[in-house]
Amino acid sequence: MLSFLLSFLLAFAPAKAPAAGPLEPCKIFGSVYLETDPARRGYCFGTVYVEPEEAFADVLVFKEQNKLFADKPGLWADAPARDFADYVLLVVTDRSRADFSIHYTTVRSFAGCKQ
């Protein structure tokens, strides 16, 4: 009886709302999955625009090969799927619809927030 009651409460418990407050791109690191399907926008942590020019980007990102080395802001490891990612970000093609912009750098020491 107790297990039935517990599974009933877990099944009908309201979903946890995302953390309130503005998105802070300078705190994003670890494994990141870049979603391209706009229909899945509700499952994403935020929206991002991939800036072709380094000067206009908010965050410079260095792609790490191993998630263990992506331990500081701007160091991202590609996640193979959304379920394995620390952050899921929707890539938009219009800069005005993005929460922040990124630019990929080839130098690890340049990675990080530009603010």
Does any domain span residue 92? yes
Cβ atoms of 98 and 47 within 8 Å: the answer is yes
Does any domain span residue 6? no
Cβ atoms of 77 and 39 within 8 Å: the answer is no
Q: Closest by alpha carbon to 99, among 50, 63, 66?
A: 50
Does any domain span residue 109? yes
Please tell me the total count of domains within the chain. Answer: 1
Does any domain span residue 10? no
CA dihedral 48, 52, 57, 60 (to 10 degrees): 90
Please state, in angstroms and rounded to a whole number, the distance separating the CA atoms of residues 113 and 29. 11
Residue ranges making up the domain that contains 91: 24-113
Please state, in angstroms and rounded to a whole number, the distance separating the CA atoms of residues 15 and 32. 23
Express each pLDDT in 65-107 by its tens digit: 999 999 999 999 999 999 999 999 999 999 999 999 999 999 9
Q: What is the maximum span of the chain, computed from C-alpha positions, in angstroms?
A: 62
Does any domain span residue 16? no
**Stretch 10-39: mean pLDDT:** 76
pLDDT of residue 57: 96
pLDDT of residue 95: 95
Does any domain span residue 84? yes
pLDDT of residue 1: 76
Q: What letter would DSSP give residue 26?
A: G
Does any domain span residue 17? no
Does any domain span residue 47? yes
Express each pLDDT in 13-22 by its tens digit: 544 434 555 7
pLDDT higher than 90, residue 23: no
pTM score: 0.78
